[in-house]
Structure 1
Amino acid sequence: MVVEDDTTVRSVVGDYLRAAGLEVSLHADGTSARSALERALPDVLVVDRMLPGVSGDELCREVRARSDIPILMLTALGAVKDRIAGLEHGADDYLAKPFAMRELQLRVQALLRRRAVVVAAGAFTAGDFVVDPVRRVATVAGSGRELALTSREYDLFLFFARNPGRVLTRDEILREVWNWRVGDGATITVHVRRLREKIEPDPRFPVYLRTEWGEGYRFTPRPDA
């Protein structure tokens, strides 16, 4: 689903993605998109932040409250603080205008691949957590409580869980989780903060996912070990 109020951009994006073999529904405002999203959720939502009626930020928050579908934000607001704001509303990816259609296509297809992937390996235990790559679910060991992770948060947590005790650099995380060769480190900062809010007893003093200043992040699946 593409939600974009600019007629030309909406039409060109729709045509380009359809030419890439994707089924695309187009909406010119947030109100009609909200109604459509209440009936059925797409595999990927591409949404402009600044929309008439219901804003892209509102749509993002509403969808994220009930689903982990990948969300890509398109916007003319390209400053770092604007990108961070979009990610904090629940977006998985962010593309500032003007953008190349080929880059948009590749990012959408990357989000689709992550959503569709089925890993052959079964569930595994990572300290205080159990991760199931097939169901794309992570739970707290013992209680069985499921972590309410978005699609991107799950990908990030899975990467940490598969590399316990090792310092992972931001470049490595961008490459392996986002499939980016170059990217904005603020993206990782926001997602790590959101992940800590869901796995840490007190996100202000993380014990599982710690920052190694000047290097990256280290995941300790059982802090008392």
Structure 2
Amino acid sequence: MEKIKVIIADDNSFVREGMKIILSTYEEFDVVGLFVDGEEAVAYCEHHSPDVALLDIRMPNMNGVEATKILSEKTNVKPLILTTFDDDEYVLDAIRNGARGYLLKNNDPERIRDAIKSVYMGHTVMQDVVLDKIKSNLQPAKEEVRIDKNLFTEREIMVMSLIAKGLSNKEIAAKLFMSEGTIANYVSTILSKGNLGHRTKIAIYYLTGKVD
């Protein structure tokens, strides 16, 4: 099996080197680069073809949000944010700019491995504990934000709600007793109807009622 090529960008050498050691214990990964900031990571990705970029949010020269935007626009690399709770004000921007997901740095190795594999397979990874924190920050005090329910069918709205919870197409299919192909068709329809650029924007739109 071809290995998943991963790069790690984090200005903390302990996190950077530690993550490399963890990922190197799994045979499905090949850590091809370690970088201290987003600028270095982007420069590497523009000339090479790693599969997944693990990006810290707060880094000198270029942070994870800026790096995510460039990687999403100019490369096929899938950005995955590694965050801490005090970074949540940046995470929404990262997702809007194309991040395929985010998770906390203190996750156990198995969770990190599964997240990288899921992102590599085209799924979105949104960790519940972080997602709940972001949702609480997004809710306005007086006005309830809602999506345009006239634009979507009841089933499409249900699919959107499950995407917002971080479920993969396979998990949604099992929950709704449908085939994975049918769910994929629903996702394509939702993307088209909502004029949403990618899957993560479905979650943001569902949570905020806003496309941008």
TM score, norm. by length of structure 1: 0.53
Secondary structure at the aligned position of 2:80 is classed as strand
Aligned length: 146
Q: Is the 8 A contact 1:86 1:94 kept in 2?
A: no
Partners in 1 of 2:114 and 2:195 — Cα distance? 37
The answer for the alignment partner of 1:132 in structure 2 is: none
Partners in 2 of 1:14 and 1:69 — Cα distance? 18
Task: Specify every segment of 5 or more residues in structure 1 that has no aligned partner in the other structure, as ranges.
Answer: 116-150, 153-163, 181-194, 204-208, 214-225
Inter-CA distance 166–65: structure 2 relative to 1 (3 Å threshold): same
CA RMSD of aligned residues (A): 3.6
Q: Is the 8 A contact 1:71 1:93 kept in 2?
A: yes
Q: Which portions of structure 1, spanning 4 or more consecutive aligned residues, are displaced by more than 4 angstroms?
A: 77-81, 195-198, 200-203
Q: 2:62 aligns with which of 54, 61, 78?
A: 54
Does residue 97 (structure 1) correspond to residue 92 (structure 2)? The answer is: no
Secondary structure at the aligned position of 2:81 is classed as strand
Q: Is the 8 A contact 2:45 2:75 kept in 1?
A: no
CA offsets, 1:74-106, max 9 Å, x none? 122456544322211210111123332221111
Q: Which has the higher helix share?
A: 2
The answer for the alignment partner of 1:166 in structure 2 is: 155
Inter-CA distance 7–107: structure 2 relative to 1 (3 Å threshold): same
Counterpart of 1:18, as a letter, is S
The answer for the alignment partner of 2:30 in structure 1 is: 23
Shift of 1:18: 1.1
Inter-CA distance 201–97: structure 2 relative to 1 (3 Å threshold): closer
Identity %: 19
Partners in 2 of 1:104 and 1:14 — Cα distance? 12
Counterpart of 1:74, as a letter, is L
Shift of 1:55: 1.4
Shift of 1:41: 2.5
The answer for the alignment partner of 1:75 in structure 2 is: 83
Task: Specify every segment of 5 or more residues in structure 2 that has no aligned partner in the other structure, as ranges.
Answer: 1-6, 125-152, 173-187, 197-201, 207-212
